[in-house]
Structure 1
Amino acid sequence: MHRKRHLSASITRAGIVALPLLYSLTATAREPADPHWVDDPYSRMKAMAMLQSLNADLLSHPSATLTLERWCGTHHLARDAKVVARVVKGADKPLPEGAREQLAIGMDEPVRYRQVQLVCGGLVLSEADNWYVPSRLSEAMNQELDHSDTPFGKVVQALHFRRQTLAAELLWSPLPAGWDAGTPLPPATRHPLDIPAHVLQHRALLVSGDNHPFSLVVESYTANVLAMPSALLSPTP
């Protein structure tokens, strides 16, 4: 989905984006990617830098699909670094609290739900929850959304919409609170680094050219964005 991103979204510790990579890294592409990270300070610092880098890329480029495609290729997540959208048929979720106010609609206004996964080489990289107001779309748009896998942004592009980012947040921090003020990192272990299913989330409104909000989108990026081959995860001697 094409969108205008805003770098002012609230991400804590944004300065980590500039962390230099301290070691040269080599890898060979393979599929599926190896998600194994060892729990040590190097891995934690690298994971944080990568999440902040991905977040900055998503916020500063208009297409999440193309951004993830570049990410997939650069980090060897799949042999064929092509991202495809997959509509989850029959999915349903209630509107988040406060969504009707954000969409500027009454309690009786119908709202539809669509869930789409962005997939690269069999890896689901993100899951997008989309609540939209059908009365603010044309009948042809609603029909296409009901009966095809066409990306939402392409379907509604005639609305000349803009994206208003409401929030962007890390759902998981590899580093402890206060790490940049001297809090020590956890000691190295021989165990895998415990990474949750979702690591980053963006929330945004889509607003038509005549200033009517018509869609609330919540994009949750999965741990698979870190599922690169193991050769990329350790410093070379």
Structure 2
Amino acid sequence: MTETIHKGSVPSYGEPRLWRCLSFCRSRILTRVRLFCCLAGYVMAATAQAHEALPSPSATTLAHELAQRDSATATLQQHCATPITAHLLDRKAPATLQQDARLALNATPTEKLEIRHVQLLCGGEVWSEAWNLYLPDRLTSQARRTLANGHTPFGKAIGESNFSRQRLNSRFTDLPSGIMLENRAILRRRTDGRNFAYLIERYTDDALDIRAWRETSSDAVPHQEPASAP
């Protein structure tokens, strides 16, 4: 029997093939669009993360300036119109930090390890927070007496000319809120090169503005809460 094809009509056997072709093309296009969106999202997230990981120019400038001297207190003092003072918070440190200090200082099991957790202030502003873990038997009697009162910064009590600093590392990220730089270091006696102190120094957002000299009172009460333990 002869199949009759009306004028202007499309044979039915061609429609499934056409729809399969269109569906295939649409699927490929959607797949590529999804892939493009995923890649674009990944690139944007990676770029944002990279920008967050970069320290601010002010933080790197402060880190560079601190690296030029053995005494961090002396560096800060150059930008404070009043004497830098120490505010004693406590004499505690995590057990792991004490172990790290003993190892770094080559301390014997019987040597006493003293701890000072302080804030350094320019007037009423907290510019840094520090853990000073040191071996008092390796200090002069005068330095031990000065450190006992808790109000004299560590570097000032020892005297910058009496020690050298070995910088261990600097950190700009993964720090407590309000802290933009952390330095770790070991101090050595200039006389014989013996290690005597292990330091962790954290610098606050206020320290970013150390270029501006301030006429403030050293009797002001510190307004910043201590950072979490290192």
Task: Give the TM-score normalised by structure 2.
Answer: 0.57
Indicate the structure (1 or 2) with the bigger Cα radius of gyration. Answer: 2
The one of 212, 221, 235 equivalent to 2:203 is: 221
Q: Does 1:54 align with 2:62?
A: yes
Answer whether contact 2:182 2:200 (CA < 8 A) is retained. yes
Measured against aligned partners, the alpha-carbon deviations of 1:25-82 in whole angstroms (never above 9, x if no partner) come to xxxxxxxxxxxxxxxxxxx89971111111111112344334335556xxxxxxxx43
Measured against aligned partners, the alpha-carbon deviations of 1:182-212 in whole angstroms (never above 9, x if no partner) come to xxxxxxxxxxxxx922110111111112121
Aligned match of 1:133? 135
- Cα root mean square deviation, aligned: 3.3
Measured against aligned partners, the alpha-carbon deviations of 1:203-234 in whole angstroms (never above 9, x if no partner) come to 11111121210111110011223479xxxxxx
Task: Give the TM-score normalised by structure 1.
Answer: 0.56
Q: Which blocks of at least 5 consecutive residues in structure 1 are unaligned?
A: 1-43, 73-80, 174-194, 229-237
Quick one: which amino acid aligns to residue 168 of structure 1? S
Aligned match of 1:84? 84
The one of 78, 101, 106 equivalent to 1:99 is: 101
Aligned match of 2:215? none
Distance 1:157 1:65, change over 3 A: closer
Greater length-normalized contact order (CA 8 Å, ≥ 6 residues apart) = 1
Distance 1:161 1:68, change over 3 A: closer
Distance 1:98 1:163, change over 3 A: same
1:120-159 alignment, distance < 5 Å:
120-147=122-149, 149-157=151-159
Q: Counting helix residues as a fraction of each chain, which structure ranks higher?
A: 2
Give the deviation of 1:172 after TM superposition. Answer: 5.4
Aligned match of 1:207? 188
Measured against aligned partners, the alpha-carbon deviations of 1:152-182 in whole angstroms (never above 9, x if no partner) come to 2233239832111111121359xxxxxxxxx
Quick one: which amino acid aligns to residue 93 of structure 2? K
Query: Could you tell me the percent identity over the aligned residues?
Result: 32
Give the distance between the partners of 1:70 and 1:47, measured in 2 at CA: 23
Q: Which blocks of at least 5 consecutive residues in structure 2 are unaligned?
A: 1-51, 211-230
Give the distance between the partners of 1:139 and 1:170, measured in 2 at CA: 36
Q: Secondary structure at the residue paired with 1:128?
A: strand
Answer whether contact 2:91 2:116 (CA < 8 A) is retained. yes
Give the distance between the partners of 1:109 and 1:206, measured in 2 at CA: 17
